[in-house]
Structure 1
Amino acid sequence: MSSDHKESSHSLDEMTDEPQTQIAQETLDSDSGSILDGVFSKDLSMDMSERLMTESEQLRLELLLQPEELDQLSKAHNHRRRQAGRLNSSLENEQNAAMDYSEQLRPSQDFLTLAPDNPLLARFQATLSQHLLRHNDKLKLEISELEGESKLRGKEAEEWGVKIVQKLHKKRQRFETTEDYRQFLGEKIKKRSRIEESVQAEKIKLKMLSEVLDQNVAEESSLKIDTVALKNFAQQLSDYEAQQTSELGVVQRVRQKTTKDINMFLHQKQKQDIIMFKIMEEILRLESAHKEMYQKAEIKKSELHEIRLEIAEGVADTEVVQTQNKRMLQFWNRMLIEIQLKNKTVAQVQAALRAAEGQFSGLHAQIDSYAKDSIKELKLSQELTQKHNKISEVFSKLQRETIELMESCQKRDSEFKNISGRNQAVRRNLEQVFSGKKSKKGLLLTCHQKIQRLKDVKFQLEEEILRLLQNKAVRNTSIVNLQKEILGISQKIRKQESYSAKLENDLRKITLEMEIEKGSLTLTRKALEEMRKDCESKESEFHQLETKLKKTKDGIKISSLRCEEQSKTLEILREYNKKTSGCLEEEKLKCLKSAITEMQKKTDCLKQSWLRKQNEIVHFAQERTRQVHQYNMLKKQVLILEQKNWKLNYHLEMNQNHKRKIERTIKRLLLRIENLNAESHKYNTQIQTFDAANHITHKEYSGELKDAEEEMLGLTKDIDDLETKKEEMSEDVLILEQEFLTWEKKCKMMTEARQKILEEQAAEGEIGTMKAEIHRMKVRYGQLLKAQEKLSQDMEMCITRRDGIIDNSIGRELRDTRTYLRHQLQRKVDDLRCRMKHLLMETKNLEKDCLATETKREELQKEWKAKQDQLTALKLTTSQMEDQLQEGQFHKQKNLELLVRKQYKGRLYAAIKANKYQLLFAHEASLQIELQRQITMNLDLVSVVECLLVDFPPLTNPINRILNVLRMTCL
């Protein structure tokens, strides 16, 4: 790559130093492919920068957009490119036509020329200069208007593009959030299903354990029965042995039997010993089985103990809850008792009031009865006097209450005055608040004006930035100064934006204060209304009390009149009773004695019945306490179950609400996405309409420009001379621009190469780290396996050594006697059986561990395969992307070289037409021979480069670029 750049720069330097006579050789070199970099015009450099910007923006949009939206945008972009190509082709055709027309309009040698002193020529020049100046002014005005419109359209297009990109970015973010939320929901559902499965598995395990425990208990009971039977059998055998010993004694004593009988007896004795040995073996086997079952039972008991502990913890928790519930119930019972007591007191007070009313009515009845029964009236006269005194006290109390009511009314009046004063103060505060509100509105208006001024300043600064950017292409020397100015302007913009943000924050604070003040005003108004209502209610109560006072005064007057009348009647009755008092009192005493005896008999009967009923009440109370206790227990259980049910229902409702919220949010997001799509469609249609309008206006102005160019072609030789000077100066500018563009190309190529190298290094680094981690894991896995094998071997060796040592020690101790040998053999057999069982258990555990390790290994292999597939897919995608980028770069290179060569040829043909250069080959035959020679050389170079492609496959990119250049020269 560096060699290609060096060759291109060297060729360009040689082009600047060559004389004018070697132009034919340059043309031939351009046809053969030696000139790699062409001369760009100002417009072409701007087009290239715009293309690069559009390509970078397109890549960003591809990362943000979906495939359907990308297709739509790519179609619109291609359509615009086609329109731009058509416009450029039409402009080139029009320029060529204008050049032909100008050549036709040039003065030939056959026409007559006017002398410089001729007045006609002076008039013609004056009129022509005036006409040209007018036309030039019109064109300047139209160009300025077009520039302003183009700037506005460009600004609008930029704003639309920024809005579209922002909306697309928001859309992408919302889509990502929805996807993340869906993934989160899926994970939660999976976790919930896993938890439910684990709970079900634990329930199944508990059931299995309970079944196993039941089986073990049954086996234990059966083994106990077997042990009892074996003990009985052992006792029988011991009895049998005693009998046999006694018989042997008898046999020894009796020596009259023959040797045959003795041998038969010995044979029977051996059989009995064998049977005894077998029975002992079975007994030992059963004892070992019993021990194993006992160990299993202990393990199960430990598990049961753990389960019981957990149950006890749960019971403790339930007891705590029950105690809390008891406390709450006790508290509620206390509250109910207090409420009942208060109700009782209220009922007593009401009963007392009713009794007082009854007494008051009874007074009238007693007064009537005094008129009938003089004797009773004499006895009750004292009571009437007492009641009269009480009534007088009540009257005095009522007077006092009236005085207190008057005082309370005065207090209410004073409170009402205070409330009215407070209302006035509140109204004043309201007026102050409204005045503050007006001042704050003025501040808001000033802030809005400041913001508008800042926006105007920002707009002016943006226009200045655009002007500076336009002048950047013309004045390459002032780039650094412009960048500094742009940085300063950007800093000013940032400061102004921060100031605007501060102003917005102040506005928000002011609005919040206004809202708070509004809330306080509403509260004060509500308080005023409540105070007014209270005042009205108190006034109504005051009027009611006044009416009651009037009624009580009237009642007191009436009662005083009645008392006076009754006192008069009492005096009359006393005089009458003094005459007839003696006989009546004796009769009354006899009646009273008879009534007292009857009442005593009745009281005795009632006492006996009362005692019976009390016993029944005690019995019923005990039953009631029991029933209440049972009812409370059932109620607590029901409350616990209701709480559990409530918790479950609450969790279910929460989950359902959560699901509903999620569904609502998804629907809202989908609706927003649809609205955004509709808005984007509208924006696209508006952009298309604007493009069509721009195309129409461009055609109109291009037609007007054609007319203006046709008029401008009639200028004099002075203008031609100025154009020649301008072209000479432009050539110098083009050479400088050529150097600038070559350096830009070099910088771009260097940045691209750096990016590629960094990307390749990053990819290789990640892959290397992954491989190193996999290798490290494999090595660690092998080391762990080896260590596990060594540990298992060491354990086996230790066990064998321990067994050997134990066997040797036991053999040394019990080498003499035979009974000890039997016991040793039996113990060894038992130990071997226990070892076998332990070995079986260990083998099962090892098999389980092996299965677990195999499953883990399979999972790791699956993950490794998945990651390998991902890596292959990423490699394929990266290769495809690189191929696409290379194809795009090659296509871009082709287009650039075509443009450069065409421009260079056009410039050379223009120079030949202007008679600045002379051709080396005047005849067409010599030119064709030279062209064929160059074509053959170029084909040879193509074949050589293709061979290089075959020989050096890693250098495909630079070789393909060279091939593109050579093939373009063949066209």
Structure 2
Amino acid sequence: MAALELQSPNISQDEEIYKLIKDNWNEDKPTESLKVLDPEDPLMKRFQEALKTHLVKINKNLTEEINELKVTCKETNKKREEKGLEMYEAQREISRQQTAVEKYRKLLEDIKQSREEKECHLIELKEIRNRVRNETEEENRRAEEMLREIESTSSLYKRFSEYEQEISDRMAVAERMSQKDATVEREMIRQKQEADYILWKLSEEIWRLEKEIDDLRRQIEIKNEEKLVVTQTVADADADLGGLQRERKDLMDAWNSVISSIVQRDKVFDELSHERLTMRESFKTLLTRIEKVKKDTQKEMENNEKLTEIKSRLEEEVRCIDAGYGAQNDQAEAMQYRIDKLNNQIDYYDTQVGALSYEFQGLKNEEKSLDQELDKLAHQKKTLENDVSTKLEDKVIQDKAVRSLTKVLRDTRETANQLELSMIQTENQYGKNLLNLERLTSDVSSRKEDLEELAHSNSVREKELADLQGQVEKYNSLIERKQKQIVELNKKIDEINSKEGGGIDMAPQDIKIASLEKSIEEFDAKNQESQQQWLRQESLLVRLTQEQDVQLDEINRLSKQIMIMEQKNLKLERLLENEKKTEKNIDRRMNELHQRLIKTNAILAEQKELKDQLQDKNFITKDEFTKKLQDEETELIKLENNIRDLAEEKSLLEDKLRAAHSEYLSWEKKVKVAAETSRVIKEEQNPGGEVAVMKSEIHKMEMRLLHLKKAQEKMIKDMEHCVVRREMIMDAALAKEQKNLRGSHNKQVMFEKRMEGRRMKIKQISKENKSLENQILELQAEKNILEIETDENKKLLKDYEDEIYEIDKQIAEAELMKHHKLECLVRKQRKIGLLQKVREGKYKMFHKSEAILNDELERQRILNGDLIEIMEQTSRDFPHLKDDIKKILLTLQLS
């Protein structure tokens, strides 16, 4: 290819040179046609033959290259058809995979649609449940209101009957009294009736307010419970939705990664096939070049021995190309291995897709089981609603049953409260008993240790007592022996005394006997002391055994109590175990879901790793092919530089030709001018000598002809030199290319290594940047989510605070009204009591005259107004005490 590229500009240069020569030699002047040399001139034959040989040589080379290119075109067309068939098969496979993807997508959409329908159905069921619950609560509230009204009317009826009985009794008494007393009594009865009516109204108002307060509290509790239920359901729904969305996202990501890997595989395959085609074409061109070079070398070997060096160089080039061909074959095999590896990875992805579809089927089955549970709950709900409706009908029909049920409910509530209290008390008692048990166990353990110590000391003392008893027995035996000896001696002494008649002094044996008796007495005393000590030890041992028995009794009693407590504990533990089992089931379910999530995450991580590996391999192949392209580009740049050099040389030669031609024309003009001037001078000098003038002119013309022939010879030599120089330049360029292959190759290899190192560093930095950017994006997303959640929570808190503030305000107002009405009631009761005392004559008036009483009343009113002003000023000065001051103001306004 390089030879073709070199030869094609050479041909164009020859054509341009030929055109320039033709134009310069065939320039027509307006006055005369100037012909320097005829093409058929014998002088031009040498140049024409040299040029013809050169052009024939180039023509042969070009025809050979054209034939080789035709052959390669045929082979490439065949290979292209083969690759087209392979691409058709690959497109069929891709279409099949796309149909499978569409099926999966439709399945996912159907599942999503069914899930949305079920959620809508669930929401409708919840709304129905809430509506039914509200209706039942409203009915219960109405029933309670009716019961309260019935109770209030019955209590009023009882009170009025009592009042009527009292009034009839008093009327009977009043008949016996005088008329004045009767009028006073009627007036008092009327006042009392008014006061009773006022009291009844007040009590009714208090009951109504208490009922309203209870209703408000109940509604607040219901609303709080509903709020908790709603928040719990919302949280559960959010968690379920989040989990499902995450699972769907994971599945979609996995599927997208599979599709992207398939697309990437196809792209890589297309690129590899394209590069393989280009490599084959380059290889074929190299083969054609090799064959052409071989032919040229054979021809040149026949012509000249100088071309042996060129032949050797060409053979070295052939070897290098063979090595390159081997390397290309190795690369092609490596590419085939990569293609096989990609096919294996695609099979692996297909297996993963199957596993994911299996997991998806499992999730679908779980969803079906959940739907069944929901249907069961709905059925239970319907049954409960039917029961509630029947009970409500029974309540509406039977008022007595309602009353009894309300009483039963109250009793059950009271019993439930009592049971709760008893349970709390038992728990407290259980805690106390546990503390007592711990204390007792610690006491028992300490007492056991004391008992063990005492038993050890007793065993030691018993051993000592046994030793002492053994010694005492020995001494007793010795004493008995000595006593027997003494008795025998005494008998002997008595016998001797009786024989001798008694008045004999004590002998040394008597003295020994007396000393032995003293020692025996001392020993008896010691023996008695040791016996007393032994008795003391035995009494102590008995006392300790009695204490031990008492402690054992206590331990038995405590062990019985512990047994009872343990039974209670076992019951509680069973309940706790049931709760723990439910918790374990929930935890197990959560763990299973967590493990599934971990498995899916692991699969995704593996897929990401495979994706990264494929990307790395793609980058490596891309780098290799970019290196090859760079090599080709460097070769192209070299060829372009050579072409530029040849073009510059051509332009220089053209400039030289133009300069020579212009110089030739200028000299011709100068010669003409000189001839004319000399002719004019000679004519002036020799006015009649025309023959001399003609001779001089002929001489001049001959001289001019010689000069022109020399110029023509020189020009032809220069043209021959140009053709030879052109061939030499081509040979030198080819020799340079073949000579500096290793040096350029080494430089290129070093440059490629450096570039590869830089590219790897750039890749690593880009990967790190991508990972950091992903982390930053994830953190920003988390931050945004948290900010949104905090804003929502703040809004909810604000709404709750507003609601709580309103409720507190209502409660404070209700408490103020309650306090106000209670104060009114207390004052009226006090007034009724004072009037009763006045009527009975028990109350002693402080102000007997009406004027003093009016003055005192006016003074109290002024004082009350001053106090009201003071309290209003204090409420303005101290707004945080507004509620307390309001109560005081209400009491002051009452008085």
The TM-score with structure 2 as length reference comes to 0.22
Q: Tell which structure's C-alpha radius of gyration is larger.
A: 2
Q: Higher relative contact order by CA 8 Å / sep ≥ 6: 1 or 2?
A: 1
The TM-score with structure 1 as length reference comes to 0.20
